[in-house]
Amino acid sequence: MSKVTVIIDNQEVQVPADYTVLQAARSNNVHIPTLCYLEGINEVGACRMCLVEVEGARGLQTSCTLKVSDGMVVKTNTKKVREARKATLELLLSDHDRECLTCDRNRNCELQTLAEELGIKDVAFEGEKNVSYEDTSSPSIVRDPNKCILCGRCVGVCNDVQKVGVLGFTNRGFDTVVGPAFDKKMDEIPCINCGQCIAACPVGALKEKEEIDYVWEAIEDDNKHVVVQTAPAVRAALGEEFGLKMGTRVTGKMVAALRRLGFDKIFDTDFAADLTIMEEGHELLDRLQNGGKLPMITSCSPGWIKYCEHYYPDFIDNLSSCKSPHEMLGAVIKSYYAEINDIDPKDIYVVSIMPCTAKKFEADREELAASGYPDVDAVLTTRELAKMIKQTRVDFVELPDEDFDEVLGESTGASVIFGATGGVMEAALRTVAEVVTGEQLEALDFEQVRGTKGIKEATVNLNGTEVKVAVVHSTGQASKLLDQVKSGEKDYHFIEVMGCPGGCVTGGGQPHIKPEDRFKKDVKAERAKALYNEDKSKKIRKSHENPMIKKIYDEYFEKPNSHKAHELLHTHYVKRENYPLDK
């Protein structure tokens, strides 16, 4: 790529010729404020916060949309620029619910940060305000239009990345609102609950529906045996909430914090990920050997499952019948664990700590109640767990590392990589390859399915049989791939789909990321690195070699895909009405 010379705030810099002024500035550590801009998602210049002066240009320019040119002279911090930004921000604040102390994003709000940076002490444009109802109808997502600044970032990610398209701009002028069409509530639209809109929102207009109070109530109930489980991706991001570097693995500290919160048992969802590989791997082999429906598609991501039910119901029979790992573990806790410990399942309260808002919806599904009670009683996001830890005033960073409780806390390296795109596929291949060939793999790392490319393909030789696999992340990319399969352009045996870009490590319930960090870092790769490092550190890296997995099959399930395993560990999916004919 050719480069051009640009002068930014009296500094001569060399940048790629296809850069915008904003990209040129950020790549040279010049901070230009933004609100509507989110790289790769929303680049429309609507909020006017990124205005700069350009020599020879008439008026101020939006740096996020203006391309650089050779010899361009840019000023990012003149009096004219500062006054324009301040006036724009005051206008936004004039129609904003400014109850910051009680806002979910207090001290972690981009609007609040900019107001402080620009020295806004009062709002000069007080006047009429739009007042709307807070929509709490969804089991996963709360939408508060009173805090919306009309930046459009949620619209961009919903429409252009996830290809769900349930959020948009309605009305005009002062009456403009971002939300579902026709003033529908969140539970009346085919939202998949992925929470990527929450991850994109710069303020508190979108947030997860909190269940913290229910969990505290259960912990303090002497009649409840409260068991908590943590997903793989949580350990790769939780530390960010306490000031640790992105990608810092905090597995031991997380367990220590959970013990101090008062949970009776602390298990690792990774154990159930190993269980999932046993069930899903043998299900794949059965389909390959006995003419089952192909390609088989993974079912770990509830946002993807709901997307399939709404938008691609023709592929429902292709979905693996396996429950997602945390639902499997919930079912095992309320059956096997309850029996060996002589606890009535009705007295067990299972809490899942997840990087995902869609898991909240999933836990409410009627079919996920193998014991007669919900497999999982409450789902907390990574952000909610951080809030609970902060409520206890525990010094998270100084906590010693502790281990998960035994039996259902034992896991392998294969299970921990479930949190990254390609991880489920790689874990499955490690087991399926050895089951089919009867031989030990020389190399366990399937590099061809790793990385953050939107769609990855590979062909694996299983004892003379060529198995074609694909890995895809984000429902937008899944849509593209499924259309290719439907048309006959692509042909696979096994497909891994993760509903969120990058997989669970960047799920809708993970810590919020500053726009500047999105530009400087590959967040998906940084967090995934923590999981791959934990995989490498494990003594056992294949699911079928987990001694506790062998134990539970010997004592309880007999073998993968047995009748009892199907009763507890498998489920079914449904075609959901009200899905649009035209995506």
DSSP secondary structure code for residue 314 in this structure: G
CB 380 within 8 A of CB 388: yes
Q: How far apart are CA 392 and CA 25, in angstroms?
A: 41
User: Which amino acid is present at 536?
Assistant: K
Q: Using N-to-C axis directions, what is the helix angle for 302-311 and 475-487, rounded to 10°? A: 50
The residue count of the chain comes to 583
pTM confidence score: 0.96
Could you say which DSSP state residue 38 is in?
B
426 is catalytic: no
CA–CA gap between residue 191 and residue 158 (Å, rounded): 9
Among 280, 523, 291, 233, residue whose Cα is nearest residue 425: 280
pLDDT score, position 580: 46
- Helix-, strand-, coil-residue percentages of the chain, each rounded to 5: 40, 15, 45
Q: Which residues make Cβ contacts (< 8 Å) with residue 283, sequence separation at least 6?
A: 296, 320, 321, 322, 561
DSSP lists the bridge partners of residue 72 as 6
Residue 36 known to be catalytic: no
147 catalytic residue (yes or no): no
Q: Is 545 a known active-site residue?
A: no
What is the DSSP annotation of 355-379? Answer: S-SHHHHHHT-TT--TTSS-S-SEE
Q: Give the chain's end-to-end CA distance (angstroms, integer).
A: 35
Catalytic residue among 280, 327, 496, 526: 280
Residue 39 appears among annotated catalytic residues: no
Closest CA to 200 of 239, 157, 159: 157
* Catalytic hit among 140, 301, 320, 415: 320
Joined together, the tokens standing for residue 215 give 């969990």
Q: Three-state SS for 207?
A: strand
Q: How far is CA 183 from CA 132, 171, 194, 577, in A?
A: 11, 10, 20, 19
Q: Transcribe 212-270 into DSSP letters.
A: HHHHHHHHT-TT-EEEEEE-GGGGGTGGGGGTPPTT---HHHHHHHHHHHT-SEEEEHH
3-state secondary structure of 517: helix
| Catalytic-residue membership of 283 | yes
Active-site choice (154, 194, 197, 504) = 504
pLDDT at site 94 = 92
Which of 53, 208, 309, 362 does the annotation list as catalytic? 362
Residue 267 has which token pair?
């298990």
Q: Choose, from 367, 447, 558, 567, the residue flagged as catalytic.
A: 367
Q: Kindly report the number of other CB atoms within 10 A of residue 289's CB atom.
A: 10
Cα separation, 96 vs 101, whole angstroms: 14
Distance CA 461, CA 471 (A): 17
CA–CA separation, 288 vs 465, rounded Å?
10
The pair phi, psi for residue 176, each rounded to 5°, is -60, 135
Cα dihedral 17→19→23→29 (10° resolution): -10
d(C-alpha 44, C-alpha 41), whole Å: 10
- Reduced to 3 states, what is the DSSP secondary structure of residue 429? helix
Catalytic residue among 241, 283, 384, 410: 283
Query: In whole angstroms, how far apart are CA 414 and each of 273, 276, 427, 444?
Result: 8, 11, 5, 9
Distance in angstroms (rounded) separating the CA atoms of residues 567 and 279:
12
For residue 89 the two structure tokens come to 């921000």
Active site residue 359: yes
pLDDT value of position 581: 37
Residue 578 confidence (pLDDT)? 54
> What domains can be seen in the chain, in order of their start residue?
3-91 (3.10.20.740), 132-209 (3.30.70.20), 213-569 (3.40.50.1780)
Is the separation of the CB atoms in 345 and 373 below 8 Å? Answer: yes
Catalytic member of 359, 360, 456, 524: 359
Compute the C-alpha angle 23/28/31, nearest 5°: 70
Q: Does residue 384 have an active-site annotation?
A: no
Q: Give me the pLDDT at residue 583, please.
A: 40
Choose the catalytic residue: 50, 300, 308, 356: 300
What residues pair up with 141 in beta bridges, in sequence order? 208
- Environment class of 407 (CB within 10 Å of its CB; exposed 0-12, middle 13-18, buried 19+): middle
Which contiguous run of DSSP H or E holds residue 284?
helix 269-290
Question: Cα 396 to the chain's mean position, in Å?
Answer: 23
Q: Using an 8 Å Cβ cutoff, are 191 and 159 in contact?
A: no
Q: Which residues pair with 471 in a beta bridge?
A: 456, 496
State which residues of the chain have pLDDT below 70.
578-583
In the DSSP assignment, the letter for residue 409 is T
